[in-house]
């Protein structure tokens, strides 16, 4: 079984592309969502977070105070790095377990916004970048999340550039609403099925 990492900047459409792969029967691991879930289910991770951020960061019934945690890590880059240093290994462990339970499929996808930044790509056989023009990405996120254009630009500029991601990616899907998306996904799917047969 091949492990593929799929990434893209904010509003590029990586989740949309993953949904098409899911329709084709490809299992998709959504790293950001799983990371959030693991903060409530992974005992090792929860113990590390309690130790680093204080017992009160979780309520009596184990609910994480996300607002308090966000306030601490946004104010202190060292604390953010510490949190990432706990969450990323937990996601690696969880992805490995998840993938091991799906050995019979030709390939799986790991969707991650920070695939290259987190080092997560090292665990993948190939990587896919979903790309879209900046203006279109801004319009999509403003429409989807109802946040200001300035806020989208701020988040966009905090991410690794598309140029840097493209230099590292094995495959690119162009989601610019001019090139048809589904044929690109089908072509890539065929290619990945072929690759998986070579293994």
Footprint on this chain of ligand ATP (rule: CB under 6 A): 8, 10-16, 113, 140-141, 144, 175, 177, 181
Smallest gap from Cβ 14 to ligand ATP, in A, equals 4
Q: Which is nearer to ligand ATP, 57 or 185 (CB)?
A: 185
Measured from the CB atom, the residue of 65 and 159 that comes closer to ligand ATP is: 159
Min separation Cβ 35 and ligand ATP, Å: 13
Cβ proximity of 108 and 3 under 8 Å: yes
Question: What does the buried/exposed string (b/e) look like for 32-69 if buried means 16 or more CB atoms within 10 Å of the residue's CB?
Answer: eebbeebbeebeebbebbeeebeeebbeeeeebeeeeb
Q: Which is nearer to ligand ATP, 93 or 139 (CB)?
A: 139
Q: How far is the CB of 58 from ligand ATP (least distance, A)?
A: 26
**Please, are residues 83 and 49 in contact by the beta-carbon 8 Å criterion?**
yes
Strands 126-131 and 171-174: parallel
Spatial CA neighbour of 95 closest among 72, 129, 119: 119
* CB of 1 or CB of 181, closer to ligand ATP: 181
First to last CA, the chain: 8
Q: Which is nearer to ligand ATP, 48 or 184 (CB)?
A: 184
CB 13 to ligand ATP: min, Å: 3
Structure tokens, 187:
């072509």
By beta-carbon proximity to ligand ATP, the closer residue of 48 and 175 is 175
Closest alpha carbon to 64 in 44, 33, 38: 38
Give the nearest distance from C-beta 52 to ligand ATP in angstroms. Answer: 26
Q: Report, in Å, the least distance between residue 56 CB and ligand ATP.
A: 30
Q: State the DSSP string of 167-190.
A: HH-SEEEE-SSSS-HHHHHHHHHH
């Amino acid at each position: 079984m091949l492990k593929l990492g799929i990434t893209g900047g904010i509003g590029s459409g990586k989740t949309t592309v993953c949904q098409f792969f899911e329709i084709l029967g490809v299992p998709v691991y959504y790293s950001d969502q799983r990371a959030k879930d693991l903060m409530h289910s992974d005992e090792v991770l929860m113990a590390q977070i309690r130790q680093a951020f204080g017992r009160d960061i979780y309520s009596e019934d184990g609910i994480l105070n996300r607002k308090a945690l966000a306030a601490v890590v946004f104010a202190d880059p060292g604390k953010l790095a510490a949190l990432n240093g706990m969450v990323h290994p937990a996601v690696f462990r969880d992805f490995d377990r998840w993938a091991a339970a799906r050995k019979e499929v030709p390939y799986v996808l790991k969707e991650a916004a920070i695939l290259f930044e987190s080092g997560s790509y090292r665990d993948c056989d190939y990587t896919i970048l979903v790309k879209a023009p900046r203006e279109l990405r801004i319009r999509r996120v403003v429409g989807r999340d109802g946040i200001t254009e300035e806020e989208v630009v701020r988040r966009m500029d905090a991410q690794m550039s598309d140029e840097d991601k493209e230099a590292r990616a094995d495959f690119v899907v162009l989601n610019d609403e001019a090139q048809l998306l589904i044929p690109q996904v089908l072509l890539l799917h065929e290619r990945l099925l072929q690759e998986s047969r070579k293994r």
